Amino acid sequence: MNDYWGIPEKEYEISILQFAKQQLSDSGYCVLSEKVEVCSGAGALTLTAIIKTDRGPVGLYIHDGPRQRKKRGAPIIKVLRLLPEMKKVEDLRKFVITHQDDFHIILAPENMDLRDKAEKELLEIYSTLYDSKIRDLYETDLSSAADVLRVRLRKEFKAYSLSC
């Protein structure tokens, strides 16, 4: 997306982090780009993003959904190191897909304190988003959760402007 907080270039582009712009800013983060994929049916969500921190850009990976919650509880949240060739969020997403079993090991940040701090803060921020935007869908009609979630995550998308 050219202007992350602006109008999506394509109809299917959606954002969840738009709803936490102030929380992210208060914690010292700015979303540079984001890719959200919502699987059909129950609405399993995968988010890949590039986030600017005070120590430079990092990658963010979140996987959540009804099965994840039933089997493991909390969503999977990983802060990742970006390789030099990862200029766009699509580059990070392709790497994650290509290395599904070990991307979190290969892209582990060198600064573990930064990783631990960021993962804790981003889990808190995502938990708030989950409670306000997703929880009720995962606990009720799973057959249409994906469609409703897509609409919610597109809602008010035009109202945001990038301010990093």
| Per-residue confidence (pLDDT) for residue 40, from 0 to 100 | 75
Q: How confident is the model at residue 159 (pLDDT cuts 50, 70, 90)?
A: very low
**pLDDT tens digits for range 40-75:** 777 788 999 999 998 899 999 999 887 777 777 788
| Per-residue confidence (pLDDT) for residue 119, from 0 to 100 | 94
More confident residue, 159 or 32: 32
**pLDDT tens digits for range 106-158:** 999 998 998 999 999 999 999 999 888 888 887 776 677 778 888 888 765 54
Q: How confident is the model at residue 2 (pLDDT cuts 50, 70, 90)?
A: very low
CA 66 remoteness from chain centre: 16
Q: What is the mean pLDDT of residues 78-93?
A: 94
DSSP state of 131: I
Asked if 91 contacts 99 with a C-beta cutoff of 8 angstroms, the reply is no
| Per-residue confidence (pLDDT) for residue 72, from 0 to 100 | 74
In the sheet that holds 56-64, the strands lie side by side as 30-38, 45-53, 56-64, 76-80
| Per-residue confidence (pLDDT) for residue 59, from 0 to 100 | 96
| Per-residue confidence (pLDDT) for residue 12, from 0 to 100 | 52
| Per-residue confidence (pLDDT) for residue 140, from 0 to 100 | 76
Residue from 50, 16, 10 nearest 33 by CA: 50
| Per-residue confidence (pLDDT) for residue 156, from 0 to 100 | 56
- pTM (two decimals): 0.83
In the chain, what's the furthest Cα-to-Cα distance?
43
> Could you give the CA distance from residue 39 to residue 145 in angstroms, rounded to a whole number?
9
| Per-residue confidence (pLDDT) for residue 37, from 0 to 100 | 86
Q: How confident is the model at residue 164 (pLDDT cuts 50, 70, 90)?
A: low
